[in-house]
Amino acid sequence: MKGKKIMFVGDSLSLNQWQSLTCMLHAAVPQSNFTLQRKGDLSTFYFQDYNISLMLFRNAFLVDLVKEKMGRILKLDSIQNGNSWKGFDMLIFNTWHWWLHKGSAKAWDYIQKGDKLYKDMDRLIAFNEGLKTWSKWVDSNIDPSHTKVFFQGISPTHYNGAEWNATKGTTCNHETQPITGSKYPGGPLPAVAVVKGVLSNMSTAVGLLDVTQLSQMRKDGHPSIYGIDGQKGNDCSHWCLAGVPDTWNQFLYAILVMGGKSIDLNY
């Protein structure tokens, strides 16, 4: 990848994987010179000796979230911010977790599709519409002979112990062992089917890092009360580093070594 520019585009789970990859690469060449800069929503880790730029563009929805007089509007069929994603050798996209937020944590006041405004809608339907807009942008703007495109996949959370046959009030906090067996007791996440459905209808080949099931088994892998907010919070969404995202990056590496062909990341 010497001389290449790689960009992750997405929410804090993209940050998780980007941080993991920068640490793994630095560990492989610890004496290599590097710079780390952040400007607005763009963070850049640059390996000077190899002329490799590893970037993160923070964008929770991929489609546009704009502030207008009436409030914050999530525009399901608009993706003007995509101009910032052009000209890279590899793009790794991700979105999902912010689509689920409710109450004060919700990022929008209205959802817009076409000329219609909605106070809210079924989140899977909204996610599907937004992802289709993203897929059309990729098909219209990306030259696959120059740019490899991946979708990071859906990262699971572990806030409900009933999903792994514990009590409902159990979370990832105090969990120290992975789930045994080869299937997650709580079953698949519906968002995965949405992602696979959208990718299957694209003309551009997009590699899916289908990490959901293997990550579901790692209820022990989250920061829990040792996250940013300490014991004021309980983070069962993000992942400890070193940890699960390192495995995601090992799979990404395997796909690149195989020439971009998909591999089965599940059991």
Identity of the residue numbered 136: K
| Angle at CA of residue 56, ends 52 and 60, nearest 5° | 160
Q: How many CB atoms lie within 10 A of CB 208?
A: 18
Burial-class residue 131 by CB neighbours within 10 Å (0-12, 13-18, 19+).
Answer: buried
- Burial pattern 38-77, b for ≥16 Cβ within 10 A else e, equals eeeeebbbbbeebebbbbbbbbbbbbbbeeeeeeebbbbe
Q: Tokens 């940890």 correspond to what residue?
A: 243
**Would residue 182 show up in a list of annotated catalytic residues for this protein?**
no
**Would residue 203 show up in a list of annotated catalytic residues for this protein?**
no
Q: Please pick, among 41, 235, 246, 262, the residue that the annotation labels catalytic.
A: 235
Q: Please pick, among 12, 53, 84, 262, the residue that the annotation labels catalytic.
A: 12
Q: Please pick, among 97, 158, 222, 238, the residue that the annotation labels catalytic.
A: 238
Determine the Cα–Cα distance for residues 190 and 169; give it in Å rounded to an integer: 22
**Would residue 12 show up in a list of annotated catalytic residues for this protein?**
yes
Q: What DSSP character marks residue 155?
A: P
Which whole-number Å values give the CA distances from 70 to 66, 67, 119, in the listed order? Answer: 11, 8, 12
Q: Mind telling me the catalytic residues?
A: 12, 235, 238
